[in-house]
Amino acid sequence: MVSIHNAPTRNLDIVTLHEILRLRQDVFVVEQECAYPDVDGRDLEPGTLQFWTGQGSVDATLRLLREPDGTERIGRVATARDARGKGLAGALIGAAIAESRSASIAIDAQAHLEQWYARFGFVRSGDEFLEDGIPHVPMTRTR
């Protein structure tokens, strides 16, 4: 059974926050070779929730942002290399959807994961675009 945790960023203990940021850095900056400002200020916005799995270390993570227009956005979905294929990211997506208060949730999915996100009710909502050299597609899930 996957143990899922969530909390506003400001309420996280420093070790958990460190592990979430480390995992995001390991996956996006190191593994995917995307030099970008991961610590972008959005984690500290009111309403932002961090989701993660793991005890002591973080095996998978994502964040749920609440946009000014009332919609929500899932982002920074990352799973440690040695924890992939265990359903952790899917469990986090499900938890974020369940926690959502909005009629609409957006995600900018890496294009090769479009069908994976479709399993959770996300549909393409625009044209493919490049972000940090990786093809992405905007997707939306509505209630």
pLDDT, averaged across the chain: 93
pLDDT digits (tens, 9 = 90+) for 48-99: 999 999 877 899 999 999 998 889 999 999 999 999 999 999 999 999 999 9
Measured CA to CA, the distance from residue 8 to residue 11 in angstroms comes to 5
pLDDT digits (tens, 9 = 90+) for 10-26: 999 999 999 999 999 99
Short-list 108, 92, 80, 113, CA closest to 50: 92
- pTM for the whole thing? 0.94
What the chain holds in terms of domains, given with CATH numbers, is: 4-105 (3.40.630.30)
pLDDT at 121: 97
Helices (H), the chain: 14-24, 88-99, 114-118
